[in-house]
Amino acid sequence: MGDSDTLVDVRQLTVDFGPARKPVRAVDGVDLSLKKGETVALLGESGSGKSVTLRTLLRLHPKSARTGGTVAVDGRDVLAMSAAELAAYRGRTVSMIFQDPGLAFDPVYRVGDQIAEAVKRHDGVSLAEGRKRALELFERVRIPSPERRLDNYPHEMSGGMRQRAMIALALACRPKVLLADEPTTALDATVQIQVLLLIRELQRELGLGVIFVTHDIGVAVEVADRIAVMYGGRIVEMGSCATVIRKPAHPYTRGLLTSRAGHAAQKGSRLVAIPGAPPDLANLPPGCAFAPRCPEVADGCLQTVPAPVPLDTGHFACCFRVSASSAPKELRRAIA
Amino acid sequence: MNVIVDTMKPVGDVDRGGEATALLSVRSLVKHFGSNSGLLARTRTVVRAVDGVDFDVMKGETLGIVGESGCGKSTTARLVMQIIKPDQGEILFDGEAVGSSALGLNDFRKQTQMVFQDSYASLNPRLTVEDTISFGPRVHGLPRKAAISRAHDLLHRVGLEPSRFAGRYPHEISGGQRQRINIARGLALEPRLLILDEAVSALDKSVEAQVLNLLLDLKDEFGLTYIFISHDLNVVRFMSDRVMVMYLGKVAEVGPSEQIFTTPRHPYTEALLASMPSMDPDNRTQEAPISGDPPNPINPPPGCRFHTRCRFVTALCAHAEPPLHDVGGEHFAACHLANPASGHPRLAAA
Amino acid sequence: MSVLADTRVVVPEVKASRGYWASVGMRLIRDPVAMVALGVILLIVLAAILAPYVAPADPYRGSMLRRLRPIGFPGYPLGGDELGRDMLTRLIYGGRLSLFIGVMPVLLAFCIGSGIGVFAGYIGGRVNTIVMRVIDVFFAFPSVLLAIALSGALGAGVLNSIVSLTIVFVPQIARVAEAVTTQIRTRDYVEAARVSGANAFTIVRVHVLGNVLGPVFVYATSLISVSMILASGLSFLGLGVKPPEPEWGLMLNTLRTAIYTQPMVAALPGAMIFLTSISFNLFSDGLRSAMEVKQ
Asked if B140 and B212 sit in the same domain, the reply is yes
CATH of the domain at B83: 3.40.50.300
- Please indicate, yes or no, if residue B146 is contained in any of the structural domains: yes
Q: A277 and B174 in contact by Cβ < 8 A? A: yes
Burial per residue of A149-176, b for 16 or more beta-carbon CB atoms within 10 angstroms, e otherwise: bbebebeebbbbbbbbbbbbbbbbbebb
Residue C2 confidence (pLDDT) above 90 = no
Query: Does A26 lie at the interface with C, CB-CB under 8 angstroms?
Result: no
Q: Does A59 share its domain with A203?
A: yes
CA of C213: which chain B residue's CA is closest?
B126
A52 with A199, same domain: the answer is yes
Strands (E), B94-219: 96-97, 112-115, 193-197
What is the band of A329 on the pLDDT scale with cuts at 50, 70, 90? low
pLDDT of residue C25: 85
A143 and A283 housed in the same domain: no
Average pLDDT on B238-258 reads 94
From the list B68, B206, B279, which residue is nearest A188 (CB)?
A: B68
The pLDDT of A228-242, averaged and rounded, is 94
Whether A208 and A222 share a structural domain: yes
Which structural domain, as residue segments, surrounds residue B308? 301-350
Extract long-range pairs of C254-261: CB within 8 Å, 24+ residues apart: C254/C81, C254/C82, C255/C81, C255/C82, C257/C82, C258/C68, C258/C81, C258/C82, C261/C68
CB contact under 8 Å between A158 and B231, yes or no, is no
Q: A226 with A254, same domain?
A: yes
Range of the domain at A156: 102-174
CATH classification code of C31-57+72-292: 1.10.3720.10
> How far is residue A46's CA from residue B176's CA, in Å, rounded to a whole number?
12
In terms of domains, do B239 and B313 share one? no
Number of independent structural domains in chain A? 2
Whether residue A295 and residue C9 make contact (CB cut-off 8 A), yes or no, is no
- My answer on whether A306 and A219 are in the same domain is yes
User: Nearest CA to A239 among A254, A224, A258?
Assistant: A224
Q: Are residues B40 and B177 in the same domain?
A: yes
Contact A226, A316 (CB under 8 A): no
What ipTM does the predicted assembly reach? 0.88
Cross-chain residue pair C192–B105, CB shorter than 8 Å: no
Residues A309 and A255 in one domain: yes
Residue B322's contacts (CB-CB under 8 Å, 6 or more residues apart) are: B304, B334, B335, B336, B338, B339, B342
Q: Does B52 touch chain A (CB under 8 A)?
A: no
Note whether C295 contacts B171, CB cutoff 8 Å. Answer: yes
Measure B214 CA to nearest chain C CA, in Å: 6
Question: Which positions ≥6 away from A311 have C-beta within 8 Å?
Answer: A239, A249, A317, A322, A324, A327, A328
Verify whether the Cβ–Cβ distance A292 to C7 is below 8 Å. no
| Whether pLDDT at B80 is above 50 | yes
Contacts of C191 in chain B (CB under 8 A): 83, 116
**Where a domain ends, among A137, A156, A174?**
A174
Q: Is residue B251 part of a domain?
A: no
Rounded distance, CA B210 to CA B37, Å?
47
Contacts of C189 in chain B (CB under 8 A): 121-124, 132
Amino acid at C195: V
Name the pTM for this structure. Answer: 0.85
Domain boundaries defined on chain C: 31-57+72-292
- Same-domain status, B63 and B149: yes
Q: How many domains does chain B have?
A: 2
**Residue A122 shares a structural domain with residue A145:** yes
- Residue ending a domain, among B205, B223, B244, is B244
Q: Using CA atoms, how far apart are residues C139 and C120, in angstroms rounded to an integer?
A: 16
Sheet of A94-97, strands arranged across: A94-97, A177-181, A209-214, A39-43, A226-231, A234-240, A315-317, A309-312
Residue B279 and residue A221: Cβ atoms within 8 Å? yes
- Evaluate whether residue B275 is within a structural domain: no
Query: In percent, how much of chain B has pLDDT > 90?
Result: 51
Q: pLDDT of A7-63, one tens digit each?
A: 999 999 999 998 888 889 999 999 999 999 999 999 999 889 999 999 999 999 888
Confidence (pLDDT) at C129: 92
* Residue ending a domain, choose from A174, A194, A215: A174
Residues A161 and A13 in one domain: no
* Band of pLDDT at residue A241, cut at 50, 70 and 90: very high
One domain, residues A250 and A324 = yes
Reduced to 3 states, what is the DSSP secondary structure of residue C227? helix
Among candidate residues A174, A209, A230, the one where a domain is terminated: A174
- Would strands A94-97 and A177-181 be described as parallel, antiparallel, or unpaired? parallel
CB contact under 8 A, B280 and A336: yes
User: Chain B, 258-277: which have a CB under 8 Å from a chain A CB?
Assistant: 258, 271-272, 275-277
Report the residue from A159, A261, A278 with minimal CB separation from B206.
A278
- Shortest distance between the Cα of B123 and any Cα of chain C, in A, equals 5
Mutate to test the interface with C, among A254, A271, A281, A293 (most CBs of C within 10 A): A293
- Measure in Å the smallest separation between the Cα of A321 and chain C Cα atoms: 15
Nearest CB among B176, B217, B293 relative to A161 is that of B293
- B252 belongs to a structural domain: no
pLDDT of residue A201: 92
- The answer to which of A24-28, B38-42, C160-164 has the lowest mean pLDDT is B38-42
Q: Do A160 and B292 touch (CB under 8 A)?
A: yes
Could you tell me if B115 and B238 lie in one domain?
Answer: yes
CATH code of the domain containing A181: 3.40.50.300
A273/C7 Cβ within 8 A: yes
Q: Which residues are A70's β-sheet partners?
A: A11
Residues A109, A82 within the same domain: no
pLDDT band at C118 (very low <50, low <70, confident <90, very high): very high
Domain-embedded: residue B2: no
Q: Cβ distance B190 to B220 under 8 Å?
A: no
Chain C residues with CB-CB distance to B150 below 8 A: none
- Distance of residue C27 Cα from the nearest chain A Cα, in angstroms: 15
**Residues B204 and B95 both lie in one domain:** yes
Residues A189 and A127 grouped into a single domain:
no
d(CA C51, CA C154): 30
Probe site for chain A from C3, C7, C10, C11 (most A CB atoms < 10 A) = C3
> Is residue A334 predicted with pLDDT exceeding 50?
no
Query: Which pLDDT score is estimated for A196?
Result: 94
Q: Which chains touch B (3 or more CB pairs under 8 A)?
A: A, C
